[in-house]
Amino acid sequence: MDGANRETGLRNVGSHCSISDMDDYDLSRLLDKPRINIERKRSFDERSLSELSVGLGKMGLDNLDSSSPGYRSGFDTPASSARNSFEPHPMVAEAWDALRRSLVHFRDQPVGTIAAYDHASEEVLNYDQVFVRDFVPSALAFLMNGEPEIVKNFLLKTLQLQGWEKRIDRFKLGKGAMPASFKVLHDPVRKTDTIVADFGESAIGRVAPVDSGFWWIILLRAYTKSTGDLTLAETPECQKGMKLILTLCLSEGFDTFPTLLCADGCSMIDRRMGIYGYPIEIQALFFMALRCALQLLKHDAEGKECIERIVKRLHALSYHMRSYFWLDFQQLNDIYRYKTEEYSHTAVNKFNVIPDSIPEWVFDFMPTRGGYFIGNVSPARMDFRWFCLGNCVAILSSLATPEQSMAIMDLIEARWEELVGEMPLKIAYPAIESHEWRIVTGCDPKNTRWSYHNGGSWPVLLWLLTAACIKTGRPQIARRAIELAESRLLKDGWPEYYDGKLGRYVGKQARKHQTWSIAGYLVAKMMLEDPSHLGMISLEEDKQMKPLIKRSNSWSF
Protein backbone atom coordinates (compact mmCIF):
# COMPACT_ATOMS: atom_id res chain seq x y z
CA MET A 1 0.00 0.00 0.00
CA ASP A 2 1.07 3.57 -0.50
CA GLY A 3 0.98 6.16 2.27
CA ALA A 4 -2.54 7.39 1.56
CA ASN A 5 -3.96 3.90 1.61
CA ARG A 6 -2.14 3.02 4.79
CA GLU A 7 -4.03 5.82 6.54
CA THR A 8 -7.42 4.40 5.63
CA GLY A 9 -6.67 0.70 5.71
CA LEU A 10 -8.31 0.22 2.30
CA ARG A 11 -7.02 -1.33 -0.89
CA ASN A 12 -6.13 0.94 -3.78
CA VAL A 13 -9.23 0.34 -5.86
CA GLY A 14 -10.92 2.31 -8.58
CA SER A 15 -13.90 4.33 -7.40
CA HIS A 16 -16.28 3.12 -10.10
CA CYS A 17 -19.42 4.40 -8.41
CA SER A 18 -17.78 6.97 -6.17
CA ILE A 19 -19.59 10.14 -5.24
CA SER A 20 -16.62 11.99 -6.70
CA ASP A 21 -17.97 11.05 -10.16
CA MET A 22 -21.14 13.08 -9.66
CA ASP A 23 -21.59 16.29 -11.61
CA ASP A 24 -24.97 17.46 -10.43
CA TYR A 25 -25.52 15.94 -7.00
CA ASP A 26 -23.83 16.90 -3.77
CA LEU A 27 -24.35 14.43 -0.94
CA SER A 28 -23.16 16.94 1.63
CA ARG A 29 -26.30 18.96 0.89
CA LEU A 30 -28.40 15.83 1.40
CA LEU A 31 -26.70 15.10 4.72
CA ASP A 32 -27.24 18.61 5.99
CA LYS A 33 -30.92 18.85 5.11
CA PRO A 34 -33.25 19.29 8.06
CA ARG A 35 -35.88 16.67 8.78
CA ILE A 36 -38.86 17.09 6.52
CA ASN A 37 -42.55 16.99 7.30
CA ILE A 38 -45.17 14.29 6.85
CA GLU A 39 -45.30 14.79 3.07
CA ARG A 40 -41.50 14.55 3.17
CA LYS A 41 -39.21 13.58 0.36
CA ARG A 42 -39.55 10.40 -1.65
CA SER A 43 -37.77 7.35 -0.35
CA PHE A 44 -34.48 6.18 -1.85
CA ASP A 45 -36.32 3.57 -3.89
CA GLU A 46 -38.87 6.04 -5.25
CA ARG A 47 -36.20 8.32 -6.62
CA SER A 48 -34.12 7.54 -9.65
CA LEU A 49 -30.92 5.89 -8.49
CA SER A 50 -29.04 8.08 -10.94
CA GLU A 51 -29.73 10.99 -8.59
CA LEU A 52 -27.33 9.36 -6.15
CA SER A 53 -24.76 7.72 -8.39
CA VAL A 54 -23.88 8.42 -11.99
CA GLY A 55 -21.98 5.13 -11.96
CA LEU A 56 -25.22 3.20 -11.84
CA GLY A 57 -26.92 5.37 -14.43
CA LYS A 58 -30.57 4.58 -14.96
CA MET A 59 -30.19 1.04 -13.70
CA GLY A 60 -32.83 -0.14 -11.24
CA LEU A 61 -31.76 -1.53 -7.91
CA ASP A 62 -33.20 -4.92 -8.74
CA ASN A 63 -31.96 -5.30 -12.32
CA LEU A 64 -29.40 -8.04 -11.78
CA ASP A 65 -28.50 -8.41 -15.43
CA SER A 66 -27.19 -4.87 -15.64
CA SER A 67 -25.39 -4.89 -12.29
CA SER A 68 -22.21 -2.92 -12.36
CA PRO A 69 -19.29 -5.12 -11.23
CA GLY A 70 -17.15 -4.09 -8.35
CA TYR A 71 -18.83 -1.33 -6.35
CA ARG A 72 -16.05 0.62 -4.69
CA SER A 73 -15.77 2.84 -1.70
CA GLY A 74 -14.12 6.17 -2.34
CA PHE A 75 -12.65 6.62 1.14
CA ASP A 76 -9.11 6.89 -0.20
CA THR A 77 -10.06 9.16 -3.08
CA PRO A 78 -8.87 12.71 -2.28
CA ALA A 79 -11.39 14.26 -4.65
CA SER A 80 -14.23 12.43 -2.94
CA SER A 81 -13.15 13.57 0.50
CA ALA A 82 -12.51 17.14 -0.57
CA ARG A 83 -15.71 17.57 -2.52
CA ASN A 84 -18.09 15.86 -0.10
CA SER A 85 -16.45 16.71 3.24
CA PHE A 86 -15.74 13.06 4.03
CA GLU A 87 -12.51 13.09 6.00
CA PRO A 88 -11.62 9.51 6.90
CA HIS A 89 -12.05 9.06 10.63
CA PRO A 90 -8.99 7.59 12.43
CA MET A 91 -11.24 4.69 13.46
CA VAL A 92 -11.57 3.52 9.85
CA ALA A 93 -7.97 2.33 9.58
CA GLU A 94 -8.15 0.69 13.00
CA ALA A 95 -11.39 -1.04 12.04
CA TRP A 96 -9.94 -2.47 8.83
CA ASP A 97 -6.88 -3.77 10.67
CA ALA A 98 -9.11 -5.42 13.27
CA LEU A 99 -11.41 -6.91 10.62
CA ARG A 100 -8.47 -8.45 8.75
CA ARG A 101 -7.13 -9.96 11.98
CA SER A 102 -10.42 -11.81 12.38
CA LEU A 103 -10.12 -13.65 9.04
CA VAL A 104 -10.40 -17.44 9.13
CA HIS A 105 -8.61 -19.57 6.52
CA PHE A 106 -9.39 -23.06 5.29
CA ARG A 107 -6.63 -24.61 3.19
CA ASP A 108 -5.07 -21.17 2.71
CA GLN A 109 -8.32 -19.64 1.46
CA PRO A 110 -10.22 -17.02 3.55
CA VAL A 111 -13.67 -18.41 4.32
CA GLY A 112 -15.05 -16.05 6.97
CA THR A 113 -14.37 -14.00 10.10
CA ILE A 114 -14.50 -15.19 13.70
CA ALA A 115 -17.16 -13.72 15.98
CA ALA A 116 -14.71 -12.00 18.34
CA TYR A 117 -10.94 -11.56 18.62
CA ASP A 118 -10.95 -11.21 22.41
CA HIS A 119 -7.76 -12.68 23.87
CA ALA A 120 -8.47 -11.13 27.25
CA SER A 121 -11.58 -13.24 27.77
CA GLU A 122 -11.14 -16.29 29.97
CA GLU A 123 -13.78 -18.31 28.13
CA VAL A 124 -13.65 -18.50 24.36
CA LEU A 125 -16.95 -20.40 24.10
CA ASN A 126 -18.00 -20.24 20.44
CA TYR A 127 -16.70 -16.74 19.72
CA ASP A 128 -13.79 -18.24 17.79
CA GLN A 129 -16.22 -19.62 15.20
CA VAL A 130 -17.55 -18.21 11.95
CA PHE A 131 -21.27 -17.44 12.37
CA VAL A 132 -23.45 -17.11 9.29
CA ARG A 133 -25.41 -14.12 10.61
CA ASP A 134 -22.32 -12.48 12.12
CA PHE A 135 -20.38 -12.71 8.87
CA VAL A 136 -22.95 -10.72 6.86
CA PRO A 137 -21.65 -7.21 7.81
CA SER A 138 -18.06 -8.45 7.30
CA ALA A 139 -19.06 -9.75 3.86
CA LEU A 140 -20.70 -6.44 2.93
CA ALA A 141 -17.57 -4.55 4.02
CA PHE A 142 -15.37 -6.72 1.81
CA LEU A 143 -17.78 -6.43 -1.12
CA MET A 144 -17.90 -2.64 -0.79
CA ASN A 145 -14.10 -2.60 -0.76
CA GLY A 146 -13.83 -4.66 -3.92
CA GLU A 147 -12.79 -7.94 -2.25
CA PRO A 148 -15.48 -10.44 -3.25
CA GLU A 149 -13.40 -13.64 -3.12
CA ILE A 150 -13.80 -14.19 0.62
CA VAL A 151 -17.57 -13.81 0.25
CA LYS A 152 -17.65 -16.31 -2.60
CA ASN A 153 -15.56 -18.77 -0.56
CA PHE A 154 -17.91 -18.38 2.40
CA LEU A 155 -21.03 -18.93 0.31
CA LEU A 156 -19.60 -22.10 -1.24
CA LYS A 157 -18.26 -23.49 2.03
CA THR A 158 -21.53 -23.03 3.92
CA LEU A 159 -23.34 -24.55 0.94
CA GLN A 160 -21.20 -27.67 1.33
CA LEU A 161 -22.03 -27.77 5.04
CA GLN A 162 -25.74 -27.58 4.23
CA GLY A 163 -25.37 -30.94 2.47
CA TRP A 164 -24.12 -32.66 5.62
CA GLU A 165 -26.39 -35.03 7.51
CA LYS A 166 -27.64 -33.11 10.52
CA ARG A 167 -28.54 -35.17 13.56
CA ILE A 168 -29.27 -33.83 17.03
CA ASP A 169 -29.91 -36.46 19.71
CA ARG A 170 -30.92 -39.02 17.08
CA PHE A 171 -33.29 -36.56 15.41
CA LYS A 172 -32.58 -35.53 11.82
CA LEU A 173 -32.91 -31.89 10.78
CA GLY A 174 -34.39 -30.82 7.46
CA LYS A 175 -32.09 -30.91 4.42
CA GLY A 176 -32.31 -27.16 3.89
CA ALA A 177 -31.01 -26.17 7.34
CA MET A 178 -27.90 -24.00 7.24
CA PRO A 179 -25.38 -24.10 10.10
CA ALA A 180 -25.43 -21.47 12.81
CA SER A 181 -21.63 -21.46 12.71
CA PHE A 182 -18.54 -23.46 11.81
CA LYS A 183 -15.00 -23.75 13.13
CA VAL A 184 -11.80 -24.53 11.23
CA LEU A 185 -9.43 -26.88 13.06
CA HIS A 186 -5.78 -26.73 11.97
CA ASP A 187 -3.54 -29.76 12.52
CA PRO A 188 0.05 -28.44 12.34
CA VAL A 189 1.54 -31.95 12.43
CA ARG A 190 -0.47 -33.49 9.62
CA LYS A 191 -0.85 -30.08 7.98
CA THR A 192 -4.56 -30.59 7.45
CA ASP A 193 -7.63 -28.42 7.99
CA THR A 194 -10.94 -29.75 9.21
CA ILE A 195 -14.30 -27.99 9.51
CA VAL A 196 -16.72 -28.63 12.37
CA ALA A 197 -20.22 -27.20 11.88
CA ASP A 198 -22.87 -26.39 14.47
CA PHE A 199 -26.50 -26.73 13.39
CA GLY A 200 -27.84 -26.05 16.86
CA GLU A 201 -26.65 -29.19 18.61
CA SER A 202 -24.00 -27.21 20.50
CA ALA A 203 -25.90 -23.94 20.80
CA ILE A 204 -27.22 -22.58 24.09
CA GLY A 205 -30.69 -24.08 24.41
CA ARG A 206 -30.00 -26.44 21.49
CA VAL A 207 -32.02 -24.25 19.11
CA ALA A 208 -31.38 -24.53 15.38
CA PRO A 209 -30.98 -21.18 13.57
CA VAL A 210 -33.93 -20.27 11.37
CA ASP A 211 -32.24 -17.10 10.09
CA SER A 212 -29.00 -18.62 8.70
CA GLY A 213 -30.62 -19.80 5.48
CA PHE A 214 -32.29 -16.43 4.95
CA TRP A 215 -29.05 -14.51 5.50
CA TRP A 216 -27.31 -16.90 3.07
CA ILE A 217 -29.78 -16.10 0.27
CA ILE A 218 -29.63 -12.36 1.05
CA LEU A 219 -25.82 -12.46 0.94
CA LEU A 220 -25.83 -14.40 -2.34
CA ARG A 221 -27.89 -11.61 -3.89
CA ALA A 222 -25.56 -8.97 -2.37
CA TYR A 223 -22.57 -10.76 -3.92
CA THR A 224 -24.33 -10.94 -7.28
CA LYS A 225 -25.36 -7.28 -7.21
CA SER A 226 -21.90 -6.12 -6.13
CA THR A 227 -19.86 -8.12 -8.65
CA GLY A 228 -22.31 -8.45 -11.53
CA ASP A 229 -21.30 -12.12 -11.52
CA LEU A 230 -24.40 -14.22 -12.20
CA THR A 231 -22.45 -17.45 -12.65
CA LEU A 232 -22.22 -18.29 -8.93
CA ALA A 233 -25.95 -17.99 -8.27
CA GLU A 234 -26.72 -19.94 -11.45
CA THR A 235 -24.60 -22.97 -10.52
CA PRO A 236 -26.62 -26.13 -9.87
CA GLU A 237 -25.24 -26.19 -6.31
CA CYS A 238 -26.50 -22.68 -5.44
CA GLN A 239 -29.83 -23.26 -7.15
CA LYS A 240 -30.28 -26.48 -5.19
CA GLY A 241 -29.20 -24.82 -1.94
CA MET A 242 -31.78 -22.06 -2.33
CA LYS A 243 -34.54 -24.53 -3.17
CA LEU A 244 -33.72 -26.64 -0.11
CA ILE A 245 -33.95 -23.58 2.14
CA LEU A 246 -37.21 -22.51 0.52
CA THR A 247 -38.70 -26.00 0.70
CA LEU A 248 -37.95 -26.04 4.41
CA CYS A 249 -39.67 -22.72 5.15
CA LEU A 250 -42.51 -22.94 2.59
CA SER A 251 -43.71 -26.35 3.73
CA GLU A 252 -47.41 -26.52 4.53
CA GLY A 253 -48.72 -27.71 7.87
CA PHE A 254 -51.41 -26.81 10.35
CA ASP A 255 -50.58 -23.11 10.49
CA THR A 256 -53.32 -20.79 9.21
CA PHE A 257 -50.97 -17.78 8.96
CA PRO A 258 -48.49 -17.02 6.13
CA THR A 259 -45.86 -16.10 8.74
CA LEU A 260 -43.22 -18.61 9.78
CA LEU A 261 -43.70 -20.40 13.11
CA CYS A 262 -40.42 -20.76 14.98
CA ALA A 263 -38.84 -21.28 18.38
CA ASP A 264 -37.47 -18.72 20.82
CA GLY A 265 -33.74 -18.11 20.34
CA CYS A 266 -33.56 -19.03 16.64
CA SER A 267 -32.41 -15.62 15.39
CA MET A 268 -30.01 -12.82 16.39
CA ILE A 269 -31.77 -12.87 19.76
CA ASP A 270 -30.33 -16.30 20.43
CA ARG A 271 -31.48 -16.76 24.03
CA ARG A 272 -34.89 -17.09 25.61
CA MET A 273 -36.57 -13.69 25.36
CA GLY A 274 -40.21 -14.60 24.71
CA ILE A 275 -40.05 -14.21 20.92
CA TYR A 276 -41.33 -17.69 20.10
CA GLY A 277 -44.18 -17.89 17.59
CA TYR A 278 -43.90 -15.30 14.84
CA PRO A 279 -41.08 -12.87 15.75
CA ILE A 280 -40.81 -9.80 13.49
CA GLU A 281 -37.08 -10.43 12.92
CA ILE A 282 -37.69 -13.82 11.32
CA GLN A 283 -40.74 -12.67 9.34
CA ALA A 284 -38.89 -9.68 7.87
CA LEU A 285 -35.86 -11.83 6.97
CA PHE A 286 -38.22 -14.47 5.54
CA PHE A 287 -39.86 -11.85 3.34
CA MET A 288 -36.51 -10.44 2.19
CA ALA A 289 -35.05 -13.87 1.44
CA LEU A 290 -38.11 -14.80 -0.61
CA ARG A 291 -37.77 -11.62 -2.68
CA CYS A 292 -34.03 -12.18 -3.17
CA ALA A 293 -34.67 -15.79 -4.25
CA LEU A 294 -37.17 -14.55 -6.86
CA GLN A 295 -34.33 -12.68 -8.54
CA LEU A 296 -31.81 -15.50 -8.28
CA LEU A 297 -33.79 -18.63 -9.17
CA LYS A 298 -33.57 -19.86 -12.75
CA HIS A 299 -36.82 -20.13 -14.68
CA ASP A 300 -36.49 -23.80 -15.49
CA ALA A 301 -39.24 -26.34 -14.72
CA GLU A 302 -38.21 -26.86 -11.10
CA GLY A 303 -37.42 -23.19 -10.58
CA LYS A 304 -40.80 -22.02 -11.92
CA GLU A 305 -42.67 -24.23 -9.48
CA CYS A 306 -40.67 -22.74 -6.60
CA ILE A 307 -41.18 -19.22 -7.94
CA GLU A 308 -44.96 -19.70 -8.06
CA ARG A 309 -44.98 -20.76 -4.41
CA ILE A 310 -42.84 -17.77 -3.45
CA VAL A 311 -45.11 -15.30 -5.23
CA LYS A 312 -48.23 -16.66 -3.53
CA ARG A 313 -46.54 -16.57 -0.14
CA LEU A 314 -45.22 -13.04 -0.64
CA HIS A 315 -48.66 -11.66 -1.41
CA ALA A 316 -50.16 -13.29 1.67
CA LEU A 317 -47.20 -12.46 3.91
CA SER A 318 -47.02 -8.79 2.93
CA TYR A 319 -50.76 -8.31 3.53
CA HIS A 320 -50.63 -10.11 6.88
CA MET A 321 -47.57 -8.24 8.18
CA ARG A 322 -48.61 -4.78 6.97
CA SER A 323 -52.08 -5.21 8.43
CA TYR A 324 -51.67 -7.06 11.72
CA PHE A 325 -48.08 -6.41 12.81
CA TRP A 326 -48.24 -2.67 12.18
CA LEU A 327 -48.79 -0.32 15.11
CA ASP A 328 -49.23 3.44 15.11
CA PHE A 329 -51.23 5.89 17.21
CA GLN A 330 -54.53 5.20 15.45
CA GLN A 331 -54.08 1.45 15.47
CA LEU A 332 -53.16 1.48 19.16
CA ASN A 333 -56.34 3.40 19.87
CA ASP A 334 -58.34 0.87 17.84
CA ILE A 335 -56.89 -2.09 19.79
CA TYR A 336 -57.58 -0.24 23.05
CA ARG A 337 -61.28 -0.21 22.09
CA TYR A 338 -61.46 -3.83 20.90
CA LYS A 339 -64.35 -6.10 21.82
CA THR A 340 -63.38 -9.68 22.66
CA GLU A 341 -64.78 -13.15 21.95
CA GLU A 342 -65.83 -12.19 18.42
CA TYR A 343 -66.73 -14.94 16.03
CA SER A 344 -67.09 -15.30 12.22
CA HIS A 345 -65.53 -13.43 9.31
CA THR A 346 -66.98 -10.15 10.48
CA ALA A 347 -64.74 -10.08 13.59
CA VAL A 348 -62.66 -6.96 14.03
CA ASN A 349 -60.49 -8.40 16.80
CA LYS A 350 -59.34 -11.36 14.71
CA PHE A 351 -56.78 -12.69 17.21
CA ASN A 352 -58.96 -12.17 20.30
CA VAL A 353 -56.47 -9.78 21.89
CA ILE A 354 -57.63 -8.60 25.33
CA PRO A 355 -57.28 -4.77 25.47
CA ASP A 356 -56.21 -4.96 29.13
CA SER A 357 -53.10 -6.88 27.97
CA ILE A 358 -51.71 -3.70 26.38
CA PRO A 359 -48.70 -2.68 28.55
CA GLU A 360 -48.80 0.79 30.10
CA TRP A 361 -45.48 1.90 28.61
CA VAL A 362 -46.67 1.70 25.01
CA PHE A 363 -49.24 4.51 25.46
CA ASP A 364 -46.49 7.01 26.34
CA PHE A 365 -43.97 5.51 23.91
CA MET A 366 -46.18 5.85 20.82
CA PRO A 367 -45.78 9.32 19.25
CA THR A 368 -48.69 10.98 17.49
CA ARG A 369 -46.79 10.64 14.22
CA GLY A 370 -44.78 7.50 13.69
CA GLY A 371 -45.16 3.74 14.00
CA TYR A 372 -43.41 0.38 13.90
CA PHE A 373 -43.82 -3.33 13.34
CA ILE A 374 -44.44 -4.95 16.72
CA GLY A 375 -42.54 -7.98 17.94
CA ASN A 376 -45.15 -10.70 17.55
CA VAL A 377 -48.81 -11.43 16.92
CA SER A 378 -50.39 -14.76 17.77
CA PRO A 379 -53.79 -15.84 19.13
CA ALA A 380 -54.74 -13.67 22.14
CA ARG A 381 -51.23 -12.25 22.32
CA MET A 382 -49.47 -9.18 20.92
CA ASP A 383 -45.85 -8.44 21.76
CA PHE A 384 -45.74 -4.65 21.65
CA ARG A 385 -41.94 -4.43 22.00
CA TRP A 386 -39.81 -2.63 19.42
CA PHE A 387 -37.19 -4.80 17.70
CA CYS A 388 -34.56 -2.96 15.66
CA LEU A 389 -33.43 -5.63 13.20
CA GLY A 390 -36.97 -6.56 12.16
CA ASN A 391 -38.00 -2.97 11.52
CA CYS A 392 -34.85 -2.06 9.59
CA VAL A 393 -35.08 -5.20 7.43
CA ALA A 394 -38.75 -4.40 6.81
CA ILE A 395 -37.64 -1.07 5.32
CA LEU A 396 -34.78 -2.55 3.27
CA SER A 397 -36.93 -5.38 1.87
CA SER A 398 -39.90 -3.07 1.20
CA LEU A 399 -42.05 -5.19 3.47
CA ALA A 400 -42.86 -1.78 4.93
CA THR A 401 -44.76 0.46 2.54
CA PRO A 402 -43.11 3.85 1.79
CA GLU A 403 -45.49 5.43 4.33
CA GLN A 404 -44.68 2.84 6.98
CA SER A 405 -40.94 3.23 6.30
CA MET A 406 -41.19 6.96 6.93
CA ALA A 407 -43.24 6.35 10.07
CA ILE A 408 -40.53 4.01 11.45
CA MET A 409 -37.93 6.72 10.91
CA ASP A 410 -40.24 9.27 12.58
CA LEU A 411 -40.50 6.97 15.58
CA ILE A 412 -36.71 6.63 15.84
CA GLU A 413 -36.32 10.41 15.80
CA ALA A 414 -39.17 10.98 18.25
CA ARG A 415 -37.85 8.33 20.65
CA TRP A 416 -34.13 8.92 20.12
CA GLU A 417 -33.21 8.74 23.81
CA GLU A 418 -35.00 5.43 24.28
CA LEU A 419 -33.90 3.68 21.07
CA VAL A 420 -30.47 5.24 20.45
CA GLY A 421 -29.36 7.05 23.60
CA GLU A 422 -25.58 7.27 23.94
CA MET A 423 -24.70 4.21 21.85
CA PRO A 424 -26.60 2.97 18.80
CA LEU A 425 -28.74 0.92 18.90
CA LYS A 426 -31.28 -0.77 21.17
CA ILE A 427 -31.83 -4.34 19.98
CA ALA A 428 -35.21 -4.40 21.75
CA TYR A 429 -37.26 -1.90 23.73
CA PRO A 430 -38.21 -1.89 26.51
CA ALA A 431 -36.39 -4.31 28.79
CA ILE A 432 -38.24 -7.10 30.61
CA GLU A 433 -37.99 -6.63 34.37
CA SER A 434 -38.79 -8.19 37.74
CA HIS A 435 -41.27 -11.08 37.80
CA GLU A 436 -41.80 -10.95 34.04
CA TRP A 437 -38.04 -11.29 33.52
CA ARG A 438 -37.98 -14.39 35.74
CA ILE A 439 -40.85 -16.01 33.87
CA VAL A 440 -39.89 -15.08 30.30
CA THR A 441 -36.11 -15.54 30.42
CA GLY A 442 -35.99 -18.22 33.08
CA CYS A 443 -33.91 -15.90 35.30
CA ASP A 444 -31.23 -15.65 32.58
CA PRO A 445 -28.28 -13.88 34.31
CA LYS A 446 -26.98 -12.55 30.99
CA ASN A 447 -30.34 -11.07 30.01
CA THR A 448 -30.94 -8.91 33.08
CA ARG A 449 -32.74 -5.63 32.39
CA TRP A 450 -31.08 -3.29 29.89
CA SER A 451 -28.37 -5.83 29.13
CA TYR A 452 -27.50 -8.14 26.23
CA HIS A 453 -30.69 -9.07 24.35
CA ASN A 454 -32.91 -7.58 27.06
CA GLY A 455 -32.73 -3.94 26.02
CA GLY A 456 -28.98 -3.85 25.41
CA SER A 457 -27.41 -1.58 22.76
CA TRP A 458 -25.64 -3.31 19.86
CA PRO A 459 -23.21 -1.32 17.66
CA VAL A 460 -23.61 -3.85 14.80
CA LEU A 461 -27.13 -2.51 14.22
CA LEU A 462 -25.56 0.74 13.02
CA TRP A 463 -25.23 -0.60 9.47
CA LEU A 464 -28.90 -1.58 9.31
CA LEU A 465 -29.99 1.81 10.63
CA THR A 466 -27.73 3.58 8.12
CA ALA A 467 -29.10 1.56 5.21
CA ALA A 468 -32.68 2.30 6.29
CA CYS A 469 -31.85 6.00 6.68
CA ILE A 470 -30.37 6.25 3.19
CA LYS A 471 -33.27 4.38 1.62
CA THR A 472 -35.82 6.69 3.24
CA GLY A 473 -33.86 9.82 2.37
CA ARG A 474 -32.92 10.56 5.99
CA PRO A 475 -29.11 10.13 6.08
CA GLN A 476 -28.74 12.87 8.70
CA ILE A 477 -30.12 10.39 11.25
CA ALA A 478 -27.39 7.89 10.35
CA ARG A 479 -24.69 10.53 10.54
CA ARG A 480 -25.79 11.48 14.05
CA ALA A 481 -25.76 7.82 15.13
CA ILE A 482 -22.33 7.18 13.58
CA GLU A 483 -20.87 10.18 15.41
CA LEU A 484 -22.15 8.74 18.69
CA ALA A 485 -20.50 5.40 17.93
CA GLU A 486 -17.22 7.06 16.97
CA SER A 487 -17.02 8.75 20.36
CA ARG A 488 -16.81 5.41 22.17
CA LEU A 489 -16.36 2.27 20.06
CA LEU A 490 -12.60 2.27 19.46
CA LYS A 491 -11.79 3.59 22.93
CA ASP A 492 -13.89 0.82 24.49
CA GLY A 493 -12.30 -1.90 22.34
CA TRP A 494 -15.19 -2.61 19.93
CA PRO A 495 -17.55 -4.26 22.48
CA GLU A 496 -20.27 -6.71 21.48
CA TYR A 497 -22.95 -4.70 23.28
CA TYR A 498 -23.55 -1.93 25.83
CA ASP A 499 -25.74 -1.91 28.94
CA GLY A 500 -28.07 0.57 30.59
CA LYS A 501 -31.15 2.53 29.50
CA LEU A 502 -28.98 4.87 27.42
CA GLY A 503 -26.33 2.32 26.40
CA ARG A 504 -23.78 4.12 28.55
CA TYR A 505 -21.84 1.14 29.95
CA VAL A 506 -19.84 -1.57 28.22
CA GLY A 507 -21.86 -4.80 28.56
CA LYS A 508 -21.09 -6.80 31.68
CA GLN A 509 -20.25 -9.93 29.67
CA ALA A 510 -19.59 -8.24 26.31
CA ARG A 511 -16.67 -9.59 24.28
CA LYS A 512 -14.12 -7.04 23.08
CA HIS A 513 -13.03 -6.79 19.45
CA GLN A 514 -16.41 -8.14 18.38
CA THR A 515 -16.09 -8.55 14.62
CA TRP A 516 -19.57 -7.52 13.63
CA SER A 517 -19.33 -4.36 15.74
CA ILE A 518 -16.23 -3.51 13.69
CA ALA A 519 -17.71 -4.49 10.33
CA GLY A 520 -21.05 -2.81 11.06
CA TYR A 521 -19.26 0.49 11.59
CA LEU A 522 -17.29 0.13 8.35
CA VAL A 523 -20.38 -0.73 6.32
CA ALA A 524 -22.26 2.24 7.76
CA LYS A 525 -19.39 4.59 6.89
CA MET A 526 -19.01 3.26 3.36
CA MET A 527 -22.73 3.39 2.62
CA LEU A 528 -23.00 6.95 3.86
CA GLU A 529 -20.03 7.93 1.70
CA ASP A 530 -21.28 6.10 -1.39
CA PRO A 531 -25.05 5.49 -1.26
CA SER A 532 -24.91 3.29 -4.38
CA HIS A 533 -23.69 0.52 -2.06
CA LEU A 534 -27.25 0.36 -0.76
CA GLY A 535 -28.23 -1.47 -3.94
CA MET A 536 -26.68 -4.72 -2.77
CA ILE A 537 -28.79 -4.89 0.40
CA SER A 538 -31.98 -3.04 -0.53
CA LEU A 539 -35.00 -4.06 -2.60
CA GLU A 540 -37.33 -1.67 -4.36
CA GLU A 541 -41.04 -1.78 -3.75
CA ASP A 542 -42.76 -4.45 -5.82
CA LYS A 543 -45.43 -2.60 -7.76
CA GLN A 544 -47.30 -5.86 -8.36
CA MET A 545 -47.63 -6.52 -4.64
CA LYS A 546 -51.14 -5.79 -3.49
CA PRO A 547 -51.22 -2.38 -1.79
CA LEU A 548 -52.11 -2.12 1.87
CA ILE A 549 -55.85 -1.83 2.26
CA LYS A 550 -56.93 1.05 4.47
CA ARG A 551 -57.12 0.04 8.10
CA SER A 552 -60.85 0.73 8.38
CA ASN A 553 -61.35 -2.04 5.83
CA SER A 554 -58.56 -4.45 6.72
CA TRP A 555 -59.62 -4.69 10.34
CA SER A 556 -63.35 -4.99 9.75
CA PHE A 557 -64.11 -7.16 6.72
Q: What are phi and psi of 526, to 5 degrees?
A: -70, -35
Q: Specify the pLDDT at position 239.
A: 97
Q: Specify the pLDDT at position 206.
A: 84
Q: Tell which residue, 307, 251, 329, 314, has the closest CA to residue 283.
A: 314
Lowest mean pLDDT among 204-218, 411-425, 474-488: 204-218
Q: Tell which residue, 184, 177, 320, has the closest CA to residue 245.
A: 177
Q: Specify the pLDDT at position 331.
A: 95
* 67 domain-assigned: no
What confidence category does residue 546 fall into, taking pLDDT thresholds of 50, 70 and 90?
low
Domain residues for the domain of 520 are 90-536
Residues 383-395, mean pLDDT to the nearest whole number: 98
| pLDDT of 82 above 50 | no
Residues 287-293, mean pLDDT to the nearest whole number: 98
* 69 domain-assigned: no
Residues 362-384, mean pLDDT to the nearest whole number: 95
Instruction: Confirm whether pTM is higher than 0.75.
Output: yes
What confidence category does residue 15 fall into, taking pLDDT thresholds of 50, 70 and 90?
very low
Measured distance CA(136)–CA(292) in Å, rounded? 15
Number of domains in the chain: 1
Residues 478-485, mean pLDDT to the nearest whole number: 98
Residues 357-370, mean pLDDT to the nearest whole number: 96
What confidence category does residue 458 fall into, taking pLDDT thresholds of 50, 70 and 90?
very high
Pairing of strands 167-168, 171-172: antiparallel
* 325 domain-assigned: yes
Measured distance CA(372)–CA(386) in Å, rounded? 7
Q: Specify the pLDDT at position 204.
A: 79
Q: Specify the pLDDT at position 519.
A: 98
Q: Specify the pLDDT at position 543.
A: 78
* 549 domain-assigned: no
What percentage of residues in the chain have a pLDDT greater than 70?
Answer: 82
* 382 domain-assigned: yes
| pLDDT of 105 above 50 | yes
Mean pLDDT, the chain, whole residue set: 85
| pLDDT of 70 above 80 | no
Q: Specify the pLDDT at position 87.
A: 63
Q: Specify the pLDDT at position 77.
A: 32
- Over residues 183-201, the pLDDT tens digits come to 999 999 999 999 999 998 8
Q: Specify the pLDDT at position 547.
A: 53
Alpha-carbon distances of 450 from 271, 400, 446, 458, rounded to whole Å: 15, 28, 10, 11
Q: Specify the pLDDT at position 46.
A: 38
What confidence category does residue 122 fall into, taking pLDDT thresholds of 50, 70 and 90?
low
184: β partners: 195
| pLDDT of 74 above 60 | no
Measured distance CA(126)–CA(122) in Å, rounded? 12
CB atoms within 10 A of CB 132: 23
CATH number where 117 lies: 1.50.10.10
CB atoms within 10 A of CB 206: 12
* 349 domain-assigned: yes
Please give the residue that has the higher pLDDT: either 430 or 27: 430
* 525 domain-assigned: yes
* 59 domain-assigned: no
| pLDDT of 468 above 70 | yes
Q: Specify the pLDDT at position 78.
A: 34
- Over residues 139-189, the pLDDT tens digits come to 999 999 999 999 999 999 999 999 888 777 778 888 899 999 999 999 999
Measured distance CA(425)–CA(464) in Å, rounded? 10
| pLDDT of 31 above 80 | no
- Over residues 214-231, the pLDDT tens digits come to 999 999 999 999 999 999
- Over residues 399-429, the pLDDT tens digits come to 999 999 999 999 999 999 999 999 999 999 9
Q: Specify the pLDDT at position 350.
A: 85
454: β partners: 451
- Residues 86, 529 contacting (CB under 8 angstroms): yes
| pLDDT of 120 above 60 | yes
499: β partners: 505
Cα 535–Cα 73–Cα 220 angle in degrees, nearest 5 = 40
Residues 359-369, mean pLDDT to the nearest whole number: 97
What confidence category does residue 352 fall into, taking pLDDT thresholds of 50, 70 and 90?
confident
Report the chain's terminal Cα–Cα distance, integer Å: 65
Helix and strand numbers, DSSP H then E, in the chain? 21, 13
Residues 50-55, mean pLDDT to the nearest whole number: 37
Lowest mean pLDDT among 51-65, 262-276, 507-521, 538-552: 51-65
Q: Specify the pLDDT at position 542.
A: 85
